[in-house]
A and B are shown apart, each in its own frame.
Chain A
Amino acid sequence: DIVVTQSPLSLPVTPGEPASISCRSSQSLLHSNGYNHLDWYLQKPGQSPQLLIYLGSNRASGVPDRFSGIGSGTDFTLKISRVEAEDVGVYYCRQGLQIPFIFGQGTRLEIK
């Protein structure tokens, strides 16, 4: 199985400050189609998960441009340029390259 590991698991951030979450894969997620099959989701408190970033670096529709995804192969990062109060929740990466699809453990972002 291709396992993805997130760090940190807890991330306290002051509003207006940047934040980053790492996601490392046990195998390369770069497909022969040229895309990295790695997504990012945010689960806000009491809500269903929502898509933030797909194929490594593409922002989903409606996602603020303060969110960005970078990386390739086995190392990926979700960056938030300036954290806002509404960004609180648990962030998950997911590898979509190979069955079984596996999510990272989740990173809980909280406001200081």
Chain B
Amino acid sequence: EVQLVESGGGLIQPGGSLRLSCAASGFTFSDHWMHWVRQAPGEGLVWVARLNPDGRATDYADSVKGRFSISRDNAKNSLYLQMNSLRAEDAAVYYCARGVGGNCGGDCFFDYWGQGTLVTVSS
């Protein structure tokens, strides 16, 4: 059974840093693109970042570029999101999601999502 379990969320002051983790199981983690998607309270889904299977290619939303860094450890079946210079508008539930689909270089859509971890940015 495919499972994605996020952790690392919490309350952080503006300007602070936080590292989110996503533990993957039930599939060959190193074969898949992985993504972070966030959802502010009461709001819609916003794509944040993605990382290719070998960890060498990344893409970011403009709103987090230069502040957030996505990485992975395939030996530990884990995805990470390092978040620096956090702002109030970064407060959200952060989901990791698995990319899949051979017609798009392996990243057509998101077939599994974690349960999310809540990040609160407040002084």
Contacts and interface: CB of A to CB of B under 8 A. Distances in A.
Contact of B61 (A51, A54, A94, A100): A100
Interface bin, chain B: 20 to 34
User: Main SS of the interface on chain B?
Assistant: mixed
Given A37-B108, A55-B103, A50 B45 contact: no
A92 B108 CA distance: 16
Nearest to B111: A51
Interface in A81-105: 90, 92, 94, 96, 99-105
Given A31-B104, A92-B45, A106-B45, A48 B109 contact: no
Contacts, number: 65
A48 B47 contact: no
Contacts of B110: 39, 41, 49, 51
Interface bin, chain A: 20 to 34
Contacts of B62: 100
B59 interface: yes
A51 B101 CA distance: 13
